[in-house]
Amino acid sequence: AQSVTQLGSHVSVSEGALVLLRCNYSSSVPPYLFWYVQYPNQGLQLLLKYTSAATLVKGINGFEAEFKKSETSFHLTKPSAHMSDAAEYFCAVSGSGGGADGLTFGKGTHLIIQP
Amino acid sequence: EPEVTQTPSHQVTQMGQEVILRCVPISNHLYFYWYRQILGQKVEFLVSFYNNEISEKSEIFDDQFSVERPDGSNFTLKIRSTKLEDSAMYFCASSLLAGTNEQFFGPGTRLTVL
């Protein structure tokens, strides 16, 4: 069984400040981990993924995430927030055991950017 | 850039009616998925489909739901007798390989059951 916990349903940062969105996972098998972003009235767009290669993963729009097995975490960061980053962010996990695994999502974090 | 498309964008139906939600996955993808997101809640996996059969399904995917790939391009989700609690955004996704499971999502269909 897998689960994802995202701490903070809402995170507010100032434009230009560091963005940190937290994600902790639970998985009985080596996980694949993903961050998706959802802009208003749109679908989910993949930001980045961890698939057992490098533990520091770089994604689109300047985001990156670090896989820490000892902490079962996969936190998302961006050094300098931009107004266009305002959106809902979802962390997701799937098993690496093969097959068409469904993704297990966290509840999401709404990122608010203050001017 | 190839993308997953879904129709309609918004479907309104009466309780007890059947609805069919349609998706066109990315053309060379082999794995197809449906998810739902009830307003204000997290995205939940419903079902995955590979090689013309269901690969995995969640406990949400009960007998009122069915999926089909009627031709080489469409992937449909049928809800036989809709309930008020079926009101949600339904997302279709597809992936090329199951290995990394990188899934590409469509824009969603908002289903409103009255």
pLDDT (tens digit per residue) in B52-66: 999 989 999 999 999
Q: From the list B35, B100, B108, which residue is nearest A51 (CB)?
A: B100
- On the question of pLDDT at A34 being above 80, the answer is yes
The 3-state secondary structure of chain B, one letter per residue: CCCCEEECCEEEECCCCCEEEEEECCCCCCEEEEEEECCCCCEEEEEEEECCEEEEECCCCCCCEEEECCCCCCEEEEECCCCHHHCEEEEEEEECCCCCCCCEECCCEEEEEC
CB contact under 8 A, B56 and A51: no
Residue B102: predicted pLDDT? 84
Beta pairing, strands A104-105 & A73-78: unpaired
Residue A43: predicted pLDDT? 85
Residue A42: predicted pLDDT? 82
Q: How much is the average pLDDT of A32-58?
A: 89
The more confidently predicted of residues A52 and B108 is B108
Residue B44: predicted pLDDT? 94
Q: How much is the average pLDDT of A84-113?
A: 87
Q: Specify the DSSP class assigned to residue A16.
A: T
Using CB atoms and an 8 Å cut-off, which of residues 59-98 of chain A contact chain B?
Answer: 90, 92, 94, 96, 98
Residue B104: predicted pLDDT? 92
Mean residue pLDDT of chain B comes to 93
- On the question of pLDDT at A97 being above 60, the answer is no
- With beta carbons under 8 A apart, name residues in chain B contacting A46: 102-104
Q: Are A89 and A105 in contact (CB under 8 A)?
A: no
CB contact under 8 A, A101 and B101: yes
- Residues of chain B short of pLDDT 50, as ranges, are none
Q: Are B48 and B36 in contact (CB under 8 A)?
A: no
Phi, psi of B54 (to 5 degrees): -65, 130
Residue A98: predicted pLDDT? 57
Nearest CA in chain A to B99: A98
Residue A61: predicted pLDDT? 93
CB contact under 8 A, B43 and A102: no
Residue B99: predicted pLDDT? 64
